[in-house]
């Protein structure tokens, strides 16, 4: 896989006819006269999509995967057909693109298709930031999701977790683009297909036919579009292939819209999870122990969107990068229809807090991992994240929970959760009679060990206090500096641009204190941070003039959240015991994972919940509904609840 998240732009030019052409591949993206008709003939008809869309029922997921997203014409055309067929299911369109068009070129290219203009506008408005990785964009109104890998096709599909129903094998012809039609791609296509998966491609090239046959498809040549003599279509005829790392495998049972789902906790993890689930068509009850929503870690007035990007391309770094971009898009959309300000994309300036961090920053910038849309160097080694800014977490939670299919039960602390034949029975302070649920998601941060049927989650809580200061308590010079602050500033602590005449800043890390009320000592600590951040003297500011708030971060030893389906760790340890002898062992058949069917967790967001919670929620909702994962497998494994048991086994092998 590439060692940079930067992408090469396409060598694109528009001819006088307005048709986009690629100089790299010496080919057009589509035919001006017949592009739409060709898509309909080659991909829609040969995969028999109209009938398949019409046959979908409520709760059915239908996944199409494409090689070469290009201008998105195939996607828009498929979307249009899905809507026209009044399909009751959900369409997942997964595509890959190594040389993505920029937004302006995309818009120009799609102007050629007035009949698709309403879909084109939605696509352009929600087009992801051009950075390598998976990007998820939901068009909930039409029950359509786009899962787009920006990068090489083979790399993207090799890391995808999905069950594909139909393939659109586009991409320039094998004679012009032999690099794409390779063994890695064909293998991945086979791995992602199931009995009955269909494929269609405009080409009749032998290398494509043989590659698809070898990966398990029965192929046939049929009449090509227009004057083209032949094209290929096929049906997958093999059974399931063996899985890598099966200890992370989970095949959820089918769920329909009437299922009873409980989300416990109403912080940013719970609110995002509840919203992601209702956006996929479900109904959700949220139980919150407190009498207000988001009164734990997520209750601050302003929080920063700070992904702490690293210089190394690890799965967890890719998680935070993808999560950052997803959170930015989520908060931008949330802001659109609300009066109070939930999100301000003012940028975030990262300044090294000491020489060790300065070295890290230098390494990170030197690595050239990140495109400038994500971060770039400013003067004195500072780093600017232009897509970042501040979030009002409590308002964001309120907005996320404000949906007719979400029922919030305040003051209802989950006391007990028991697995039954049918699902789960939950008892709460306001629900003394056990309530039945088909799925339960625990989003209870540091309280997780108190009520989870698996009770030894490796989490700890760390107290943090933020401080709030009216600018009226500042002298003229301090006021000038504070009021000029127009970006979030982050070094040893952070301060956001003033809001409602106040500066919000912090935060303390108190490893030994459990004090739930703000203390003067913590305010003093925060004032020192403010002095350094703004380069002002804060000696004359009395801590007594500050207000503030205390919260508890839920942290995990490996600094990654815990998100996914829950297994009984004892069963995992027994099933995969051979890993104690050989850490590289892979079983030849599926073993018992001890899955506690229908139970999920979304906790451990540490100091970065605003970044990590929205994508974690989207991932969980995808897993629960059987949709393609928005996370590359290696990334999902790095946040998977089973990682602790598996590491324990492998550690023994190493030792
Ligand atoms: C001082 C401070 C500053 C921070 N600043 C930032 C920042 O700038 N940017 C950032 O990204 N992150 C920041 N964080 C971290 C961020 O706040 C957390 O990562 C995030 O709030 C975690 O969200 P959560 O939903 O997992 O947990 P929480 O918000 O704590 O929510 C858990 C909820 O579960 C409820 N609950 C617990 N047990 C039960 C039960 N048995 N039944 C029902 N309900 C239950 C709790 O009442 C609570 O509402 C900060 C944290 C602190 C403490
Ligand atoms: C003919 S265009 C696809 C047209 C597209 N399906 C549409 O609807 O507009 C082929 C696309 O494949 C992309 N591509 C070529 N090689 C690739 C590779 N190795 N991985 C991913 N995408 C690739 C090209 O950049 C180009 O956008």
Percentage of the chain exceeding pLDDT 90: 88
Q: Hey, which of 69, 102, 150 would you mutate to test ligand 2's pocket, going by the most ligand atoms within 8 Å of its Cβ?
A: 69
- Give residue-wise pLDDT tens across range 208-228: 999 999 999 999 999 999 989
Q: Quick one: pLDDT at residue 339?
A: 59
Find out whether the beta carbon of 466 lies less than 6 Å from any atom of ligand 1: yes
Find out whether the beta carbon of 247 lies less than 6 Å from any atom of ligand 2: no
Find out whether the beta carbon of 510 lies less than 6 Å from any atom of ligand 1: no
CATH 3.40.50.150 fits 12-242, yes or no: yes
Which ligand 1 atom sits nearest the alpha carbon of residue 295?
A: 49
Q: Maximum CA pair distance of the chain? A: 83
Residue 653: DSSP 8-state: H
Residue 461 has pLDDT above 50, yes or no: yes
Residue 5 has pLDDT above 50, yes or no: yes
Instruction: Give how far Cα 236 sits from Cα of 93, 197, 212, 570, Å.
Output: 19, 5, 9, 37
State whether residue 329 is helix, strand or coil: helix
State whether residue 262 is helix, strand or coil: strand
Residue 654 has pLDDT above 70, yes or no: no
Residue 601 has pLDDT above 90, yes or no: yes
- Give residue-wise pLDDT tens across range 9-22: 999 999 888 889 99
Average pLDDT over residues 348-372: 92
Find out whether the beta carbon of 38 lies less than 6 Å from any atom of ligand 2: no
Asked if 120 contacts 76 with a C-beta cutoff of 8 angstroms, the reply is: yes
For residue 650, which of 557, 544, 565, 577 has the smallest C-alpha distance? 577
Percentage of the chain exceeding pLDDT 70: 98
Find out whether the beta carbon of 68 lies less than 6 Å from any atom of ligand 2: yes
- Give residue-wise pLDDT tens across range 406-441: 999 999 999 999 999 999 999 999 999 999 999 999
Find out whether the beta carbon of 344 lies less than 6 Å from any atom of ligand 1: no
The structure tokens 């001890």 sit at 594
* pTM score of the predicted model: 0.97
The structure tokens 């096929």 sit at 234
> Residue 173, CB half-sphere, CA atoms under 13 Å: how many?
12
Q: Give the chain's radius of gyration (CA, Å).
A: 26
Q: How far is the CA of 67 from the centre of ligand 2 (A)?
A: 6
Rounded Cα gap, residues 403 and 10, in angstroms: 41
**Which residue puts its alpha carbon closest to atom 12 of ligand 1?**
608
Rounded Cα gap, residues 238 and 469, in angstroms: 66
Asked if 623 contacts 250 with a C-beta cutoff of 8 angstroms, the reply is: yes
Phi-psi bin for 559: left (phi > 0), alpha (psi -120 to 50), beta? left
- Residue 655: which pLDDT band, with cuts at 50, 70 and 90? very low
- Give residue-wise pLDDT tens across range 514-526: 999 999 999 999 9
Find out whether the beta carbon of 331 lies less than 6 Å from any atom of ligand 1: no
Residue 1 has pLDDT above 60, yes or no: no
Q: Quick one: pLDDT at residue 396?
A: 96
3-state secondary structure string, 550-604?
EEEEEEECCCCCEEEEEECHHHHHHHCHHHHCCCCCCCCCCCCCCEEEEEEEEEC
Rounded Cα gap, residues 531 and 548, in angstroms: 17
CA angle 310, 312, 317 (to 5 degrees): 60
Rounded Cα gap, residues 403 and 399, in angstroms: 8
The structure tokens 């339960």 sit at 440
Asked if 426 contacts 440 with a C-beta cutoff of 8 angstroms, the reply is: yes
Q: How far is the CA of 385 from the centre of ligand 1 (A)?
A: 24
Q: Quick one: pLDDT at residue 243?
A: 78
Find out whether the beta carbon of 608 lies less than 6 Å from any atom of ligand 1: yes
- Give residue-wise pLDDT tens across range 94-141: 999 999 999 999 999 999 999 999 999 999 999 999 999 999 999 999
**Which residue puts its alpha carbon closest to atom 15 of ligand 1?**
607
Rounded Cα gap, residues 40 and 301, in angstroms: 51
CA angle 615, 619, 625 (to 5 degrees): 140
What is the chain's mean pLDDT, rounded? Answer: 94
Q: Which listed ligand is nearest to 98 at the C-alpha?
A: 2
Which ligand 2 atom sits nearest the alpha carbon of residue 39?
A: 8
Find out whether the beta carbon of 97 lies less than 6 Å from any atom of ligand 2: yes
**Which residue puts its alpha carbon closest to atom 12 of ligand 2?**
68
Rounded Cα gap, residues 551 and 96, in angstroms: 41
Residue 587 has pLDDT above 60, yes or no: yes
Residue ranges with strand state E in 111-248: 133-139, 144-150, 164-169, 193-201, 217-223, 230-236
Average pLDDT over residues 476-489: 94
Fold adopted by 247-297+396-458+558-653: FAD/NAD(P)-binding domain (3.50.50)
- Residue 42: which pLDDT band, with cuts at 50, 70 and 90? very high
For residue 325, which of 386, 379, 253 has the smallest C-alpha distance? 386
Q: Hey, which of 7, 71, 98 would you mutate to test ligand 2's pocket, going by the most ligand atoms within 8 Å of its Cβ?
A: 98
- Give residue-wise pLDDT tens across range 145-174: 999 999 999 999 999 999 999 999 998 999
């Amino acid at each position: 896989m590439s060692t940079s998240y930067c992408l090469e732009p396409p060598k694109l030019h528009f001819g006088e006819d307005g048709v986009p052409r690629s100089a790299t591949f010496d080919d057009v993206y589509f035919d001006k006269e017949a592009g739409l008709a060709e898509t309909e003939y080659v991909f829609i008809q040969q995969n028999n999509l109209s009938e398949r869309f019409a046959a979908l029922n409520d709760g059915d997921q239908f996944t199409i995967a494409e090689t070469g997203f290009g201008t998105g014409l195939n996607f828009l055309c498929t979307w249009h057909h899905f809507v026209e067929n009044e399909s009751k299911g959900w369409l997942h369109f997964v595509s890959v693109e190594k040389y993505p068009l920029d937004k302006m070129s995309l818009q120009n290219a799609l102007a050629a298709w007035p009949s698709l203009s309403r879909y084109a506008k939605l696509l352009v408005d929600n087009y992801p930031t051009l950075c390598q990785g998976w990007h998820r964009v939901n068009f909930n109104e039409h029950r359509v999701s786009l899962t787009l890998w920006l990068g090489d096709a083979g790399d993207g599909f090799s890391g995808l977790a999905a069950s594909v129903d139909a393939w659109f094998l586009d991409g320039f012809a094998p004679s012009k683009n032999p690099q794409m039609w390779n063994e890695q791609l064909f293998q991945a296509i086979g791995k992602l297909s199931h009995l009955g998966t269909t494929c269609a491609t405009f080409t009749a090239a032998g290398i494509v036919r043989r590659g698809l046959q070898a990966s398990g498809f029965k192929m046939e040549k049929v009449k090509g579009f227009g004057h083209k003599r032949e094209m290929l279509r096929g049906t997958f005829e093999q059974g399931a292939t063996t899985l890598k790392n099966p200890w992370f495998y989970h095949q959820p049972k089918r769920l329909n819209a009437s299922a009873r789902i409980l989300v416990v906790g109403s912080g940013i993890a719970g609110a995002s999870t509840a919203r992601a689930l209702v956006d996929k068509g479900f109904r959700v009850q949220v139980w919150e122990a407190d009498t207000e929503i988001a009164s734990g870690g997520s209750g601050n007035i302003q929080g920063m969107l700070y992904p702490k990007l690293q210089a190394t391309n690890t799965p967890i770094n890719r998680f935070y990068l993808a999560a950052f971009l997803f959170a930015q898009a989520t908060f931008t959309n949330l802001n659109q229809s609300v009066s109070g300000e939930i999100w301000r994309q003012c940028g975030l300036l990262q300044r090294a807090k000491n020489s060790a961090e300065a070295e890290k920053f230098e390494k990170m910038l030197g690595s050239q991992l990140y495109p400038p849309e994500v971060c770039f160097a400013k003067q004195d080694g500072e780093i600017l994240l232009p897509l970042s800014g501040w979030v009002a977490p409590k308002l964001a939670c309120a907005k996320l929970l404000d949906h007719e299919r979400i029922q919030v039960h305040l003051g209802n602390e989950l006391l007990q959760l028991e697995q039954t034949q049918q699902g789960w029975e939950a008892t709460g302070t306001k629900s003394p009679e056990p309530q039945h649920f088909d799925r339960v998601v625990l989003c209870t941060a540091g309280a997780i060990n108190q009520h989870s049927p698996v009770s030894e989650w490796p989490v700890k809580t760390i107290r943090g206090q933020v401080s709030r200061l009216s600018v009226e308590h500042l002298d003229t010079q301090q006021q000038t500096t504070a009021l000029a602050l127009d970006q979030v500033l982050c070094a040893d602590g952070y301060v956001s641009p003033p809001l409602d005449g106040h500066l919000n800043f912090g935060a303390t890390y108190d490893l030994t204190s459990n004090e739930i009320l703000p203390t003067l000592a913590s305010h003093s600590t925060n004032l020192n941070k403010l002095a350094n951040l703004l380069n002002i003297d804060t000696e004359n500011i009395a801590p007594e003039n500050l207000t503030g708030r205390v919260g508890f971060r839920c942290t995990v030893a490996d600094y990654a959240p815990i998100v996914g389906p829950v297994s009984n760790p004892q069963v995992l340890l027994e099933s995969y015991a051979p890993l104690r002898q050989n850490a590289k062992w892979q079983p030849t058949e599926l073993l018992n994972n001890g899955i506690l069917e229908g139970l999920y967790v979304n906790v451990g967001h540490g100091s970065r919940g605003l970044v990590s919670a929205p994508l974690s929620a989207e991932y969980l909702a995808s897993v629960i509904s059987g949709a393609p994962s928005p996370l590359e497998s290696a990334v999902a494994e790095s946040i998977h609840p089973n990682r602790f048991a598996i590491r324990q086994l492998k550690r023994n092998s190493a030792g």
